[in-house]
Amino acid sequence: MTDQAPLPEGDIPGKPTAASRTTLSHIMTGNDTNLLGTVHGGVIMKLVDDAAGAVAGRHSGGPAVTASMDEMVFLEPVRVGDLVHVRAQVNWTGRSSMEVGVRVMAERWNESTPAQQVGSAYLVFAAVDADGKPRHVPHVIPETERDKRRYQEAQIRRTHRLARRRAIRELREKRAADGIED
């Protein structure tokens, strides 16, 4: 899915960042652990994708599919008994795609200490219709200075994603033209 697919024109009003922002909370149990006794990174990644998908669906007003996940960063281990909060919001929108920023926080379920950031990620979602074809999304309206900064940073990440994709495609085409098989 790319933002380059032809789409029917439509006048969709924009939505403020807060309109689709959400938090998903979950208590980590023994079923979530890896061999080291901490919560498996894949469990956190699923929660990240779930929260980001909910935000993308809310913002776009319908189905949205994960197109990519960038920069999944694990800052601290998550333990059994931690109450994990996955906070997500739309940072940027294109014609059919949205970047969703996610912050993962954790706190002990039985303590009154503040939650600590344990991870973050950026995901790109594509809004699709019933046939799986791209559809237009409302543009996001950044409300706060933080939202405006996130919007600008998302534009930089998008530029880098597109440049990386283009450079890889060109390298593969050159290797193929030179008769090099992968």
143-156 pLDDT tens trace: 999 999 999 999 99
For residue 182, the model assigns a pLDDT of 74
For residue 96, give the nearest of 54, 128, 140, 51 by alpha carbon.
128
128 DSSP assignment: B
For residue 10, the model assigns a pLDDT of 59
Could you give the CA distance from residue 78 to residue 52 in angstroms, rounded to a whole number?
19
Could you give the CA distance from residue 179 to residue 114 in angstroms, rounded to a whole number?
58
Judge contact between 52 and 35, C-beta under 8 A. no
pTM of the predicted model, to two decimals? 0.88
Could you give the CA distance from residue 68 to residue 7 in angstroms, rounded to a whole number?
21
| Structural tokens at position 143 | 């409300």
For residue 5, the model assigns a pLDDT of 43
For residue 61, the model assigns a pLDDT of 96
What residues in the chain have per-residue pLDDT under 70?
A: 1-10
